[in-house]
Amino acid sequence: MMETVIDLHAHILHGIDDGPATLEQSLTMVRLASHAGTKQIVAAVHVSRAWPYQSALAQRRWEELQHLARDLVRIHRACEIELTEETVQRAVKEPARYTIAGSRYLLVEIPDDAEPKMLGPLLTSLLEGGLRPIVVHPERNPELARDISRLKRWVRTGVLTQVDAGSLAGVFGSRAAKAAAAILKRGLAHFVASGAHDLSGRPPRLDAVRLRLIGEYPPEFVDLLLAGHPGAVLDDRDLERGPLRASFLRSHWFEVWR
């Protein structure tokens, strides 16, 4: 049994993007996460064409929520950037404004209208800029769900990936569920996170998905996805490049922090 659960991707700051609307809802989400066993949570803020970045507001929301949450859950600040040329340039220029807790790790969302041939070069720009992009919920992107081999090529270069708990539970439909399962089975998922936005449809809890995964994978592997790897990110430790490897996967996994 892991000592802690770390949710690497959740939208819990209120009135700033498509997450909770009120502070009361934010605090209730934190309490729900704590009740479900989460000890640390990354409060992500969208940075996209639909949601322009409000850095000062995000800072205030984060400080306020952490103050009210007290010691229930430790909250870390981060951005989830839409992968475009503009956001990539901004992140490389001022990484600490966008990365997870000021580390080298950056949450990245693939736009549905992205030109496929441009995605690889943009991810390469982040890597060459000293960042480690974490592609969030790739299983929900129609193009990636149809062509997991493209995701594998990215992972081999140093890109990391995070699968949503809701995808594994079928919240986003059968295609996303199958793609999420395939990404895990091929050792291409480094993290499983809630991707939370609210209290019901996409709640900030990982207890149910942990039980689901324990039924399919060894506990130490599940703990790696939900605690070991997220902990390495928050400590800004290095994560090995490439797919995870194990006899029960279609590749092989090994301890990836050093």
Residue 25: band (very low, low, confident or very high) from pLDDT cuts 50, 70, 90: very high
Read off the pTM.
Answer: 0.94
Say yes or no to pLDDT of 18 above 70: yes
Q: Mean pLDDT over residues 89-108, rounded?
A: 97
Percent of the chain at pLDDT above 90? 88
Mean of pLDDT over the chain: 93
Class of domain 5-234: alpha beta
Say yes or no to pLDDT of 180 above 60: yes
By residue count, the chain amounts to 258
Say yes or no to pLDDT of 252 above 80: no
Say yes or no to pLDDT of 258 above 80: no
106-160 residue pLDDT tens: 999 999 888 888 999 999 999 999 999 999 999 999 988 888 999 999 999 999 9
183-220 residue pLDDT tens: 999 999 999 999 999 999 999 999 999 999 999 999 99
Q: Domain ranges in the chain?
A: 5-234
